[in-house]
Amino acid sequence: MKLGVILPQLEIGTDPAAIRDYAQAAEEAGYDHILAFEHVLGADSSRYPGWNGPYDYRAQFHEPFVLYGFLAGQTRRIELVTGVLVLPQRQTALVAKQAAQVDVLSGGRLRLGVGVGWNQVEMEGLGCDFQSRGRRIVEQIRLLRALWSEDVVDFEGRWERVRHAGINPRPSRGTIPIWMGGMAEPVLRRAARLADGWFPQFRPDAEGRAAIARLQGYAREAGRDPASVGIEGRLNARGRDPDGWAELYARWKEMGVTHLTFNSMGCGYTSPGQHIEAIRRFKELAKD
């Protein structure tokens, strides 16, 4: 099971040195990957009656491609993961270009997690149709893989059109792993059919095991080996002491997920250094 950390971007601030130090500390501690969330726009929730989204305009999100372009030059080994990029609100060819650039600059260390998103206000601000996002992402993934693997692409779908053109540079591996996030049943089906891996949002319990079983069943239906679809759990440190972290770690490991990411946000830490100390402590207790 590979271990990663979630960049505490809601709490780490904007000092480039602090962001660099955190990423380097994660790498030095032996973590396999670092994961960042994304949002482009945050809504003013006071202007939207009944707003129930987890974030609004006060939540700070570093733009992942710019962030990872910076961290590509500050780290050497650790994988850089978007978890998840809201793909339907972005231009597909531009995402292909930006992702390829980060992959090249990092020496092939980008893993692109994508999802359909939930924030209708954000999508409206970016000029995207909210209702078609689930259908569009399927087409987008096809186009991304074509642009990464082929010199010249001739692609015409319902939403995407690239006529006899390509990006340069392309990823050195010829592709970039695409993982998908979300828990709705159509998402599980899409992930099982299309993705290299899945970011679920559940606890390591019976409900979580049932979701994994459904994903694996959908993979078999699609003619895929279920073992070829990675699964990344999330361990939230909030409200737990290190003994609680160790207990959850053991439960996740027992479930057989391929990846596990440690989230230190929400613990009341007031400095980047406290987040660094937390990820060091978790890595020590997670040693086999």
pLDDT (tens digit per residue) in 155-198 = 999 999 999 999 999 998 999 999 999 999 999 999 999 999 99
Q: Residue 142's pLDDT is what? A: 97
Looking at every residue in the chain, the average pLDDT score rounds to 96
* Domain, as residue range, for 20: 6-285
Contact present, 273 and 15 (Cβ < 8 Å) = no
**Is 288 a residue whose pLDDT tops 70?**
no
Tens-place pLDDT, residues 138-160: 999 999 999 999 999 999 999 99
Q: What are phi and psi of 193, to 5 degrees?
A: -85, -35
| In a domain? residue 26 | yes
Question: Is the bond preceding 86 in cis, omega lying within 30 degrees of 0?
Answer: no
Instruction: Tell me the CATH number at 272.
Output: 3.20.20.30
**How far is 121 from 189, CA to CA, in rounded Å?**
26
What is the total count of domains within the chain?
A: 1
Residue type, 198: W
| In a domain? residue 1 | no
Quick one: tokens of 38? Answer: 């994304």
Q: Residue 172's pLDDT is what? A: 87
Q: Residue 44's pLDDT is what? A: 96
Contact present, 189 and 217 (Cβ < 8 Å) = no
- In sequence order, the 6+-apart residues with CB closer than 8 A to the CB of 117 are 86, 88, 89, 123, 133
| In a domain? residue 233 | yes
Instruction: Report percent pLDDT > 90 for the chain.
Output: 96
Calculate the dihedral angle through the C-alpha atoms of 241, 247, 250, 254, rounding to the nearest 10 degrees: -140
Residue 216 confidence class, pLDDT cut points 50, 70, 90: very high
Task: Give the pairing of strands 110-115 and 79-86.
Answer: parallel
Calculate the dihedral angle through the C-alpha atoms of 6, 253, 114, 222, rounding to the nearest 10 degrees: 180
Prediction pTM value: 0.96
Q: Residue 287's pLDDT is what? A: 79
Tens-place pLDDT, residues 62-101: 999 999 999 999 999 999 999 999 999 999 999 999 999 9
